[in-house]
């Protein structure tokens, strides 16, 4: 599929007629080239990139989705929203949407080359609870890893909750990782608890996920760098759950994050 065709299916919320990975020459490198071409098309029509999503950082779900490592994609002004503790998100034009509770970072500075965990920690401004709505344009979420990259990293929407300044949580990367290593979440549909998860599920912690992502981003030809003001959502603490309009979901995060509720329309 061409970048124009990929964007058209994104806009229409329609399934792809065929997986790009059915072409034996299609690989992850080509998928990122296609994803960056779609990004350029979106910028050309007036959309503004606001950061990135990191996907498949939760090793517990790799076998279920047939992947063996993380991916990344772009978050846009048009797909990003903020709230305090409750927000509303439209599922219009999404394709087979699912929901993921995550920790989201706000960048204060661009990390230096070969950034250490402490370098990354000091480049952060805030962390917040988040809900990412992910989607797949292949039926029943049956794909190869390269397909998910071409599919914008599966990103559809991102709702960010109450921001907590990094300095209120920790004074170093080591302390931050200790806090998030035991942080937890209960994912609820209505009043029913469906699954529990923890911060350590995402490559042992959100800061580790950020470090992995930054190395991959900077190794990708043509990819933009991480900038001050960018948001980065670091991967789901649970499985991804199917969602529908008129549903209400809650992520009951433990300290240092706060409870976040989302209403779908």
Q: What is the pLDDT of residues 63-94, one digit of tens each?
A: 989 898 999 999 999 999 999 999 999 999 99
Which phi and psi angles does 55 have, rounded to 5°? -115, 160
| Reported pTM | 0.96
In the prediction, which pLDDT does 11 show? Answer: 96
**pLDDT tens for residues 189-233?**
999 999 999 999 999 999 999 999 999 999 999 999 999 999 999
CA torsion, points 159, 34, 38, 2, in degrees to nearest 10? -130
CB 235 within 8 A of CB 203: yes
What are the extents of the domains in the chain? 3-264
pLDDT of residue 103: 98
CATH fold group of domain 3-264: Fumarylacetoacetate hydrolase; domain 2 (3.90.850)
Segment 136-172, tens digit of pLDDT: 999 999 999 999 999 999 999 999 999 999 999 999 9
What integer pLDDT is reported at residue 32 of this predicted model? 98
* Non-local CB neighbours of 219 within 8 Å, separated by 6+ positions: none
Mean pLDDT of 16-41: 97
> How many Cβ atoms are within 10 Å of 171's Cβ, its own excluded?
10
The predicted structure's pLDDT at residue 68:
86
pLDDT, mean over the chain: 97
């Amino acid at each position: 599929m061409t970048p124009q065709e990929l964007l058209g299916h994104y806009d229409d919320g329609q399934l792809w007629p065929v997986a790009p990975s059915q072409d034996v020459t299609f690989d992850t490198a080509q998928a990122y080239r296609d994803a960056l071409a779609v990004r350029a098309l979106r910028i050309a029509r007036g959309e503004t990139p606001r950061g990135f999503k990191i996907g498949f950082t939760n090793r517990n779900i790799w076998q279920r989705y047939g992947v063996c490592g993380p991916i990344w994609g772009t978050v846009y002004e048009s797909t990003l929203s903020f709230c305090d503790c409750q927000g509303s998100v439209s599922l219009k034009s999404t394709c087979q949407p699912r929901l993921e509770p995550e920790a989201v970072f706000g960048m204060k500075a661009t990390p230096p080359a070969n950034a250490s965990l402490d370098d990354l920690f000091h480049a952060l401004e805030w962390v917040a609870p988040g809900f990412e709505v992910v989607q797949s344009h292949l039926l029943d979420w049956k794909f190869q890893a390269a397909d998910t990259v071409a599919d914008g990293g599966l990103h559809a929407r991102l709702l960010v909750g109450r921001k907590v300044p990094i300095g209120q949580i920790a004074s170093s990367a080591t302390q931050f990782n200790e806090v998030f290593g035991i942080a937890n979440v209960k994912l609820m549909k209505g009043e029913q608890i469906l699954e529990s998860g923890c911060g350590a599920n995402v490559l042992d912690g959100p800061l580790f996920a950020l470090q992995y992502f930054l190395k991959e981003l900077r190794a990708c030809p043509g990819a933009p760098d991480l900038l001050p003001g960018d948001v980065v959502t670091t991967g789901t603490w649970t499985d991804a759950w199917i969602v529908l309009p008129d549903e209400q979901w809650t992520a009951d995060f433990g300290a240092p994050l706060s409870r976040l509720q989302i209403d779908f329309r």
